Amino acid sequence: MYIRKVEKKEGKYKRTIYRLVKSYRTENGPRQETILNIKDLDLPQEKWKTLADTIEAKLNGQLVLFLDREIDFLATHYVSLIQEKRLTARRSMEVIVDPEEAEYESINIKSVKNSKVRTIGAEYVSLSMYKYLKLDELFTTFGFNERQRNLAVLSIVGRLVSPGSERATREWAMNHSGLDKLLNTDFQGLSNNALYRIADDIYDHKEAIENHLQSIERELFNLNETLVLYDLTNTYLEGRSLNNPKAQFGHSKEKRKDCRLITLGLIIDEDGFPKRSQVMAGNQNESKSLLGMIAQLENKSISELENTKNIRKGKTVVIDAGIATSENLAALNEYGYDYLAVAKGKPINKEQIDQESLIKVRETKQNKVEVQLFKNESENILFCRSFLKSKKELGMLDNYRRKFEEEMKAAKSALTKKRGTKKYEKVIERIGRIKERNSAVARYYTINVIPEPDSPNAQDITWEFNDYDEMNFT
CA-based nearest residue to 135, from 120, 158, 152, 122: 152
Using the CB atoms, write b or e for 89-118: b if 16+ within 10 Å.
Answer: eeeeeeeeeeeeeeeeeeeeeeeeeeeeee
Contact 179/127 with Cβ under 8 angstroms? yes
Contacting residues for 261 by C-beta, under 8 A, at least 6 apart? 234, 235, 236, 237, 247, 248, 249, 250, 252, 282, 283
DSSP state of 377: S
Q: Which pLDDT belongs to residue 218?
A: 82
Q: Are strands 260-269 and 227-237 parallel, antiparallel or unpaired?
A: antiparallel
Say how far apart CA 273 and CA 228 lie, in whole Å: 10
Nearest to 412 by CA among 359, 440, 450: 450
Q: What is the pLDDT of residue 321?
A: 83
| Residues in a beta bridge with 394 | none
In this prediction, residue 432 carries a pLDDT of: 93
Beta strands 380-386 and 368-375 are antiparallel
d(CA 318, CA 290): 11
* DSSP code string of 3-37: EEEEEEEETTEEEEEEEEEEEEEETTEEEEEEEEE
pLDDT of residue 162: 92
Domains in the chain: boundaries:
2-92, 121-204, 226-340, 389-473
| pLDDT confidence of residue 204 | 93
The class that CATH gives domain 226-340 is alpha beta
- CA dist., res. 474 & res. 371, Å (int): 10
Helical packing angle, 166-175 and 194-203, nearest 10°: 120
Contacts of 434 (CB under 8 A, 6+ apart): 404, 407, 408, 411, 442
**What's the pLDDT score for residue 474?**
38
165: alpha, beta or left, given left = phi > 0 and alpha = psi -120 to 50?
beta
Angstrom distance (rounded) from CA 116 to CA 106? 24
The predicted model scores a pTM of 0.58
Say whether 362 sits in a helix, a strand or coil: strand
pLDDT by residue for the chain (474 residues), tens digit each?
888 888 877 666 777 888 888 888 888 888 888 888 887 788 888 888 888 888 888 888 887 777 788 888 888 888 888 888 877 776 666 555 565 666 778 888 888 777 778 899 999 999 999 999 999 999 999 999 999 999 999 999 999 999 988 889 999 998 899 999 999 998 988 887 899 999 999 999 998 998 899 888 888 877 777 778 778 888 888 888 888 899 999 888 888 888 999 988 888 888 888 888 888 888 877 666 777 777 766 667 777 777 777 777 778 888 888 888 888 888 888 888 888 888 877 788 878 888 888 888 888 888 889 988 888 877 888 888 888 888 887 888 889 999 999 999 999 999 999 889 999 999 999 999 999 999 888 888 999 999 998 889 999 999 998 876 543 433
Give the full edge-to-edge strand order of the sheet including 368-375.
359-363, 368-375, 380-386
Contacts of range 329-332, beta carbons closer than 8 Å, 24 or more positions apart: 329/379, 331/290, 331/291, 332/290, 332/294
Closest CA to 460 of 449, 473, 468, 469: 449
Decide if 381 contacts 471 (C-beta within 8 A): no
> Looking at residue 439, what is its pLDDT?
87
- Cβ-contact 255, 280 below 8 angstroms: no
Rounded Cα distance between 415 and 423, Å, is: 9
